[in-house]
Every structure is written in structure tokens, then in C-alpha cells.
Structure 1
Amino acid sequence: MKKFIIFCLCILAYTASAQEFTPPVSWSADNGNGTYTNPLFYDEFSDPDIIRVGDDFYLAGTTMHCTPGIVILHSKDLVNWKFMSYCMDRFDMGDEFNLENEKEAYGQGIWAPCIRYHNGKFYVFSNINGHGLQVFIAENPAGPWKHINTGVKIYDLSVLFDDDGKIYAVYQYNEVHLIEMKPDFSGFVEGSEKVIIPAGNAMGEGHHFYKINGKYYIISANYSPVGRMQCARADRPEGPYETVTISMRETMGTQCGHLVGNVGLGSSITEEITDFKVSDPSGSYQGAATLHQGGIVDLPNGDWWGFSMQDFRSVGRTTCLSPVTWVDGWPYFGLPGNLGRTPRTWFKPDVEAETEPCAPYQRSDNFNGKKLLPIWQWNHNPNNKMWSLSKGQLNLRTLPAPNLLWAKNTLTQRCIGPVSTATVTLDVSQLKNGDIAGLGILNIPYLYIGIKREGTKNFLEMRSQQQNENICFPFEEKNVYLRITTDLDNDTARLAFSRNGTDFETVGKRYLLPYQLKTFQGARYALFAYNVKEKNGGRALFDNFTVEEPIADRRNNLPTGKVISLKNLGNGTYAWANPHGMLHSAAKDSPNYKNQGCFFKVHDRGQGRVVLEAMNGTGFLTVVGAGLSSDVRLMKQESEGSLFLWQDMLRGQCMLLSLKTQRYVGMDPATGEPYGADWTGCRPDRKDGTVFEWKEIESDGIVRPTETPNIY
């Protein structure tokens, strides 16, 4: 467990020498004990595609309208990833990518990349809305990348370099098309396009195309009725194909409330929208998106793993990793005893490389380097003549804009969950009349705190687009310290400022951070400067941008050696060790609770495995039987059936995965029946009887509150 805190800085060589401080601990999926916990990243990484080349893995992901674009990460174990490169610096096409002439590219840009390796070269294929298929080629995935704009209008494609030298692409929504590409990627072979899976066969979109053991596989995302991943298989590229569902209903216990009605694809950017409506996430699968749009990758030892997207509320879409079980030639996500469902916590892939827990980026930046850290991206194309790094500061010239969404040269990075706090120092001495500069959340609705210059006076301003709310008051100091704290699991943010860098004052209240389909991204921290007088203004000087993540260190989330209670979120009852040998439910005020029947000691058995011993002397929780008869009983002697893999659901919540049945401990909240270990997983609302709230119990029987950082 000690090595859990040895986090890699994970930065490129050109930035390492420029950084004089150690960055805060950042989210890593690696638990440091041989297991990992999904998601791989707690910030947005949508439309993932992964390949293996030798002992190395490469991951490509969508970047939409932000630049630089199409990110490439590298890993040795599929769990710990490091930034490697971007495929493109900017969009050299159209006013919409420059926020000019009232045009914008929010929710458009470049997306759904396919990464491939063939004959010593790396290839990335991706679509730019309205501009067609782009191909990037490099001998080294660290770059440089050669860019080819094919101009051909296909999207959501996956490419296969076949053994006979032909290059195939599959693409399209619902109706799956196959087409042969020319070797120089100048276009397609005439007459080669075919519909290989007709509409109505539930294949969906976001295809991943493979040839495995002589057969052709297409893995796609389908959204009916609640979302699932489909796999099609054939003996020839053109089919005929048969299909099965390989993953379904897996939400990792996450609900997603999206903006509905007035903010979506194709909607206009306007200040007038203040009545933002969020979908109701209540109910079993309402407001939830299951694992979708992913594929599979093999290890050198022959094991297979799945990867896919998962909507994590205002985080946006991030990436999850799933063990793959092959049955009858089909690659099911999940375990042999629980096909189609993915553990939130599981054992790391079996690779030879020894890796330490590592975050893919360094998020904090003191701007002392010659280049921006790779975590940063610009909102649309930057005007490179109007910004610089000089004297250890980020210098942004103010350009005309009516509001934050139209502000050019806005520097952004993804907000990271579950909770994070971003703080930056702003020198306002060079602002001019009409300038506004500060720290914001780039989203719809947007949110910011900063300094507004009116005439010769400065004012501290907080603005929330959500309710058209402004708070403004005079500010005389040269420097202001700005802070935003986000709780992405609950879709909220709070703003604060300081005059001395130590004492921070909260401004306003908690504000909404919903996920919406106009920007098609999760919430982003933004450093901005613009002028509302329709002219170029002065300068905003930013320094010491820091990101703190109070819940990233999860070492205490596995309470080994402690005595705990387990409260079922489904009905509020406590797991109770019945003296007759069954695991039942008991109310907190019952005698069973007070006589330690609801207290369990957690024994560590390594690699995240635990054994739970009832403190009333009835024995160890043990799974007996199989299938629907897999009862959870109290046995005097510990056995193989006593092993559970602790599933960390964060914030003092957990699930217990039986390593005997490969399913979860649970009970029907409505009936209060005895517990069994045949539950496939939890609902997004976590109230189906499989998720517990655990609390540590003192030696005198007093419940110790679970320590959750004070995020506000």
C-alpha cells in the first residue's frame, strides 16, 4: 500500500526541468495493491481506441473543437497512462474554428479516432464535421504526425489492414457500411462500398473492426433500450454477420442528469438562455448511460481486455477497463460467472512490466516553462500573436467578445473528479477599459469569477449564466487569487477569491454544472481575458495555476484491520450476522445492532481481497452454493468462499464481489430476504440492495463518521 503514494509526474522531458514544485496527488485508477478501480481517468476521455504494439499500448481519444487535437497516451499495463502527443496543432479550415463572423464549432471539430499500426507506421483516422475524414501518419507515436485531409465524408469509422494488403473501413450509424480505402488514402476504391449489416440490427455506432483467428469482428454501441455493446462476427469482411450483446446495463452505479430541451447539438450560443432544464436522473435507469462505444485489445500472454466510454455526470465521458471472457468465440465484457457486467474494481492486467500508480498529466502549472503543459488546450484555435509565456507568467491579450463562450484565446483543461479545486493568481494591473479576465468553467451554462475594468476602476465580478446572476463590487488590489471548487459527482461548483492568497471568501452559492450536447464535453477550467467594448484591450497576467484533488488518495477507502458497519442503501437497514448462520437485515435501533451483530472486522488477504468476520462470534461471511442458491452464511472456518474483492464506490460506499460466484452480495430491499451473492451489479441509483455505506466502529461501539474531505 505504501507505493500507492508514489505517483509518477508523467510529464514530458521539456517540461520536467521547468517545474520547481511537486504537483498535488492526482487520480490514478491503480490502487497500488494489484487492483485498479474504474474509471481509468476521472476526467473526460471520450471515444477511446486502444492498440497494442509489442509490449506497449496506445490510446487515442476525441478532442472535439479544442486544440491541439486528438490526444495519444501510452501505457505498459492498460491502467497507468502517460501523455505522448497530439496529432494536430490546429484546425486550418473555416471561420467556425476561429470564433469569427459569428461562427463556432462547439460540439463539432474532430472526434471518434481510430488508431492502428501497420508495417512500422502508426495511423490515426478521424472525422472533422463538415470537412471529412482526416488521416495522421507517424513512425513514432510521439510525433511528428503527417496530416492528410481526404475530404471524404465518412464518420465513426474503424479501419482494418487485412492480411491480403487491402485496407477496409466500416462506418455509419445503425446501417453498417464497408468500403475499401486506397493505399495512399487519397480516397476509396470505386464500387467497393457495401451495406454489410442492414438498419434495424441494433449495431448502433462507434464501430471497432478487428480480425481475430481468421474471423472478422465489429464491436459497436447501441442505445436501445438502455444502451448496450453489440458484437458482429463473420468469416468474410462483407459478411454475412451474426450478432450478440457483449455488455449491457453496466453504469458503475452512476446517474447522469443531462440538459434537455434548449441546449443540444446545433443549438445557438446565446446569452438569453437562463432557464436550463436538467433531466430527472431518478428511477432505475433514467438518466443513465451504460458502458458503450469501445473495443477490445489483447495482451502479450493472450488475455483480452475491453475498453469503453462511460458518462460520469459533469465529468463528461470517460474511459473504463473491462476483463474479457471468450465464450463460443464471442468476447464478452465481464467475468465467467457474470458475463456482460464489468467490475468497478478488478485485478490489473497480467503484463511483465512493473508499473507504479501514475496520472497521465501534470495539471498544475506555474508557467515557468517555454511551452504549456500538455494538459492545456485552447477553446477553438488560438491567435498565437495575442498570448505568450514570459517572466514565469501566462500573458493573455484581451480580444473583443460579448461573453465567455465567444472569448478567443481561452486556455482550458478538463475539470477532474470526483472533487477538485483550481486556484490561480491574476495580475490585473495592465487591464484596460472594457476588459474582463479571470477563472471560469467553460460549459453551458458557463460560470466565472474575475476582474472587470470599467473606466479607471476594477471590480471583482462573479457571473453565472444559469440564472443570469451577477455579483460585482470594487476591487483595488493589483493581484487577485481566484478559486473554483467542483464536485463533479453532484454537478456543482463554488467560487471564491482572496486578496492575500491565504484567506478566501466564497462568492455566490453552489452552481449547476450539467453535461449537455452543445459543447459535447464535460466541465472545463478556463483562463480567459476578453473585451466587451469591441476592441483589443490590455493584458491579463496569470501565474501559479494549481489543482488539488482531496479524494484522489484512496488508501483509506479499503478499511482493512478495522471494524465496520454495513448499511444497505436500498432500504437503510444494516447487514446483520444472524446467530442461525445467515446474513440478514436489521434496523439500527434493534437489539441486533447494539449487540455487535452488525459489526464486522475486515481482514486483509492481499490484492484488494478481504474476509469479513462477524464481531458477535458467529463466524466469517462465506458464500455457499451456486447460482440462485449462492447464500451468504456465517461459517466458523474461513474458506475460499469467504473471499470478497472490495469494490470502492467512493465517499464511504462499497460493494462486495464474491470471488466464488463472481457476483455481488445483495438482497431485495422490498422483502428484506437473506443476503445472496448472485447479484449481477448495481443500478445507477445504487438502491437495488447491492451497495453499502460503511462506517468504522470504535472499540466502545461508537460509530466513527467516514472521513470525507470538506470540499467547500
Structure 2
Amino acid sequence: MNSNLGKQSMAIWSPDLGNGYYQNPIIHADYSDPDVIRVGEDFFMVASSFNMSPCLPVLHSKDLVNWTIINHVFEKLPFSYYDEPRQSEGVWAPSIRYHKGQFWVFFATPDDGIFMSKTNNPFGTWSSLHLVKKTKGWIDPCPFWDEDGQAYLVHAFAKSRIGFKSVLHICKMKPDGTELLDEGTLVFDGNAHHPTIEGPKLYKRNGFYYIVAPAGGVTDGWQTILRSKNVYGPYEDKIVLAQGSTAINGPHQGAWVELKSGESWFIHFQDKGAYGRITHLQPMSWEDDWPLIGSNINANGVGEPVMSWKKPLDVLTTPTVPQTSDDFSGDRLGLQWQWRANVKREWYSLLDNKLRLFSRNRTEGVTTLFNTGQIVTQKFPAFVFTATTSVSFHPHDEDDVTGLIVFGHDYAGLKIRRGCAAISISFFNGYYNGEKAEEDETLIKQIEAEALYLRVEVKEHAICQFSYSVDQIGFQEIGSPFQANSGGWSGAQLGIFCLNEGVRTSSGYADFDWFYISENEKGDVDGNI
């Protein structure tokens, strides 16, 4: 076992500077469309999971800076077509709220409707998904309970499904969150000044209803605040956070969090290409019942993102980041791992401190890794890093393969299969053109070894170099450097896999002893460029 696995690799990226200050991003990983609430002394975050399963991650923090993954709301989407990867579909932009002793999560899939789940313990079991409204193209729902007990739901629209966007609706909702009571009222049209307004979150403060919503698109947009004395408007609008002179593009879609002291903070994401939509924390203040987010550098009332600031809370917390390295010693797969489609229990097992991936056949007609579900992945955790894994391959059929992959619309990796007298190792590339994927594979050499160590070094700007070793000491580079990219709405992912590329049933398998994330031997760990 790798002796480094017990260490948290804080040198890779740590938001906590250890001196009472933090640096952005607070999570240098793809937790897209974050929503956050405070309940007592605890903070909880949810994020989009799209086509991945288990679905809809829940993260926890004591100080808004140091976060860990604590759960997923549900294991898989209740539709058979998600048994195959449906890139960028699935769970979009969830919201989380605390009401009457319950944690509530609402989300939409672009083609199926709006769903709800709740629990009294976010660390434990969440209720089965409830379909609040079967619809197509209604997205980004957020619930709100007013002082009189009336419940509402604000949401946006996806033009790709319904033919229009840039408008927000509010619906009346049953107080138990199970059903919408009307088809909604148009409360804001952003087509003229806030195109692609979406991701709305509804709050109330000092008699004003506030809708916090990004506009302008994920890479070049801004954060808008809408304000009204009536839940249905009319709403005034104001841009309160924009990129300005900073390197933080977007800044997009987030959550207002109020501390016990009344102090306000704002969490949003920045689209960083291959690294995904990484999470930032901004100070937030109020003036004339309008919020100012970030730093008002130009004194024009529009904040700009900060790169470092005093921590929200001076509490004793161990600096931490969402989980990465894994020694597979638990009785369940680490929460950092997700599959590219609805998970099947037959794909893997955990035993003897190993993750065993079985050489199961792919879905009939699937011929590329792009369309393969049984690839278990985790997010890029930093600007530069190295990922290494130990694998022992036990093929039963000549079509059994295992390996390491970096996944996006383009993807690459190392593939191991049985050769004539030993095992062979190949380098492969895959390319997705928006309609189909194509792959090429180059045999590198045959190796006589019971176990191999596979590695990818991710350098600045997501340039990836693969290598392998038979002794975990000397690593031999394989293939040309690969430029990782995003996979639609998701950032690039690290993955391991085992499958049978043929049609015969195989009893083969691959045992992964550990998966370790470390800092590069050489390289800049500053991702703020």
C-alpha cells in the first residue's frame, strides 16, 4: 500500500491560508451551480451532477472555506435511458433549503421535470425522489416559504428544450413541496438587458423579495439581483458582481449565506474550462437594501471578485478539501467517485482493501469509451497535480481491458490487455465531434508483470502526460502530451475502468489497490492565472 495515502494533499490546493485568511477558489474542483445554506453552526452545499451517479453531491463545512463531501441525495436517476452516459443531461442546478426541521433539495432534469427530496439528517438517508411537475425545459428550480406559510417555486427555462430562455417564472406550490398549484407567473424578462438569466434563488430580507440570478452566460456573464416588495414583482434589477479587471470570468450562479451575526457571504462558480466550474467565496455587504458582492474597486456599486479575504468565521477547523485519494479500505466506494451512467452493482466490489472492477460487457452497440457507463471517475482537484494508481489485472478473455483515463469531449489514457505472452500496454485517444466519438489506440509494449502503476501528471493549463511503472520508482512516459478539455457542462475527469470490449461473457477483473493524488515533482501550484 502507498504510505502517502493517509495524508491529505493540502499542498495541491488549499483555500485555507492558515493565518485567518482564505484564497479563492475555495474548491478548485467542478462543483457546478453551487447552492449553500447555513443551519446552526453548519453549512451545506449541493451542486449539479448531470449524468453522473451517485447523484447530487452534498458537501459540509464549518466555516464556508473548508469543505468535505458527506453524501449524495440519491444513487441513480429513475429513468432507464440514464443507464447509458447522457453527457450534460441529468441533474441540473439543484437548490437546498431548510424549512420546518427538514432539509429540502429541488432540482430539474431538462427532459423529465422538477424533482424534490428531503431529510431531517443530510448525513443520512434522503427520501425517494418525488416528481413535483412532469415537464420539459423547466430548469433551475428553487423553493421559498413566505412568513404566511405560502410556498413558491422560482425557475428558469432551457431554450434547447422549450424554444425560449432569459425569463423567470414563479409558481405557487403546496407547502409540503409535492405539487405546483399553477403554471406560473412571468416575473422577469431579461432578454433586453440580462440575456440568459437563469439559476434563480429566492430570498426575503427587510420586506424585500430578492431573486439572485446570473445572466450573460457562464463564461462572460455577471451576477444580477432582482428586488421587489411583492413576490410577483415588478422587480428592479441591478448588476452586483462582474469580472471587471480581475481574472475571474463569469462570475456565475451562486448562493447568499447569512451568518448568525447577520454578516453576509456569497458563493459562486467560475468556468475554468477543463477544470470545470470551480467554487469561489465572496464577502457581501448591504447598502440601501441592495447587496454589494466582492470588492467595490471602482466605487461604482458593482463588485469584483476577490482572490483573498479574511475568513468568515474564526473557528477551529482542520484545513481540508473534498476527498481525492483513496485506499479503498471502506465498505463503500469513496464519495469522490462517480460513474458515467446509472451505476450497476455488478460493475464493482470492495474487498480486502481493494476496488475490484469486473470485465462486464458494454451495452450492445457501444464501441467507444465515450459511450461506456462503467468508468468510475473523480474531478480534477487542482490546477496541477499527479494521479497514480496501482492495478493488478486478471483477464479471462482476450477482449478484457483495464486502464486509466482523463475524460472530456476529447479523452486519452492507458489501456492494458492480455498479449501473446504477457500483458500489453497501449496509449489511446478519443475524440467527440458532437454527434459521435472516434478512438485510436497504439500498442506501446508488452510487459511481464503482475501489477502495474499507472500515472497521469496534469501540468499547467491541463496538459496531461501519462506514464507507467513496474516498481513504482521509475516511470516511463507513454504517448504525446494530451490537452484535456471539458465534457460539455462538466470539467475533465480522472477515471479508471475495466470492461470487456467483445460480446462474450467474461469472469475477468482488475484490482485497484489505491488511487493517490499528489503534487507534481516540479510545477507551479498557483491556479490563479
TM-score when scaled to structure 1? 0.66
Q: 1:549 aligns with which of 509, 519, 526?
A: 519
8 Å CA contact retained: 1:428, 1:540: yes
Return the offset for 1:495.
0.2
Q: 2:118 aligns with which of 134, 137, 142?
A: 137
8 Å CA contact retained: 1:202, 1:222: no
**1:70 aligns to 2:56 (yes or no):** yes
Corresponding position of 1:107: 88
Return the offset for 1:336.
4.7
Corresponding position of 1:231: 225
Return the offset for 1:469.
4.8
**Gap regions ≥5 residues in structure 1:** 1-18, 255-288, 558-649, 654-685, 687-712
Rounded to whole Å, the distance in 2 between the matches of 1:522 and 1:431 is: 34
Return the offset for 1:135.
0.5
Corresponding position of 1:471: 442
Corresponding position of 1:413: 378
Return the offset for 1:41.
0.9
3-state secondary structure, aligned to 1:324: strand
**1:152 aligns to 2:123 (yes or no):** no
Q: Which amino acid aligns with 1:415?
A: F
Return the offset for 1:83.
2.1
Residues 20, 479 of structure 1: alpha-carbon distance in 2 compared, 3 angstrom cutoff: closer
Match runs of 1:253-652 below 5 Å: 253=247, 289-338=249-298, 339-349=302-312, 351=313, 353-361=315-323, 363-401=324-362, 402-453=367-418, 457-466=422-431, 469-472=440-443, 473-487=445-459, 489-517=460-488, 520-537=489-506, 538-550=508-520, 650=526
3-state secondary structure, aligned to 1:165: coil
**1:170 aligns to 2:122 (yes or no):** no
Corresponding position of 1:209: 202
Return the offset for 1:352.
5.3
Q: Which amino acid aligns with 1:499?
A: V
**1:219 aligns to 2:205 (yes or no):** no
Return the offset for 1:295.
2.7
Corresponding position of 2:184: 193
8 Å CA contact retained: 1:251, 1:290: no
8 Å CA contact retained: 2:326, 2:516: yes
Q: Indicate the RMSD between aligned Cα atoms, in angstroms.
A: 2.4
Residues 359, 551 of structure 1: alpha-carbon distance in 2 compared, 3 angstrom cutoff: farther
Corresponding position of 2:160: none
Rounded to whole Å, the distance in 2 between the matches of 1:386 and 1:312 is: 32
Corresponding position of 2:162: none
Return the offset for 1:376.
1.2
What is the aligned length?
A: 496
Residues 397, 455 of structure 1: alpha-carbon distance in 2 compared, 3 angstrom cutoff: farther
8 Å CA contact retained: 2:380, 2:492: yes
Return the offset for 1:456.
6.4
Corresponding position of 1:679: none
Residues 20, 195 of structure 1: alpha-carbon distance in 2 compared, 3 angstrom cutoff: closer
**Over residues 202-242 of structure 1, what are the superposed CA-to-partner deviations in whole Å (9 max), with x where a residue is unaligned?**
44111111011111001111117931111110001001111
Residues 337, 316 of structure 1: alpha-carbon distance in 2 compared, 3 angstrom cutoff: closer
Q: What percent identity do the matched residue pairs reach?
A: 29
Rounded to whole Å, the distance in 2 between the matches of 1:226 and 1:433 is: 49
3-state secondary structure, aligned to 1:342: coil
3-state secondary structure, aligned to 1:428: strand
Q: 1:47 aligns with which of 19, 29, 33?
A: 33
Residues 551, 218 of structure 1: alpha-carbon distance in 2 compared, 3 angstrom cutoff: farther
Query: Could you say which structure has the larger radius of gyration?
Result: 1
Return the offset for 1:118.
0.6
8 Å CA contact retained: 2:243, 2:305: no
Rounded to whole Å, the distance in 1 between the matches of 2:17 and 2:166 is: 38
Q: Which amino acid aligns with 1:97?
A: Y
TM-score when scaled to structure 2? 0.88
Return the offset for 1:382.
1.9
Corresponding position of 1:709: none
Rounded to whole Å, the distance in 2 between the matches of 1:435 and 1:251 is: 52
**Over residues 9-43 of structure 1, what are the superposed CA-to-partner deviations in whole Å (9 max), with x where a residue is unaligned?**
xxxxxxxxxx9733433522111111111111111
Residues 431, 497 of structure 1: alpha-carbon distance in 2 compared, 3 angstrom cutoff: farther
Q: Which amino acid aligns with 2:502?
A: K
Rounded to whole Å, the distance in 2 between the matches of 1:408 and 1:109 is: 14
**Gap regions ≥5 residues in structure 2:** 157-164, 432-437
Return the offset for 1:50.
0.9
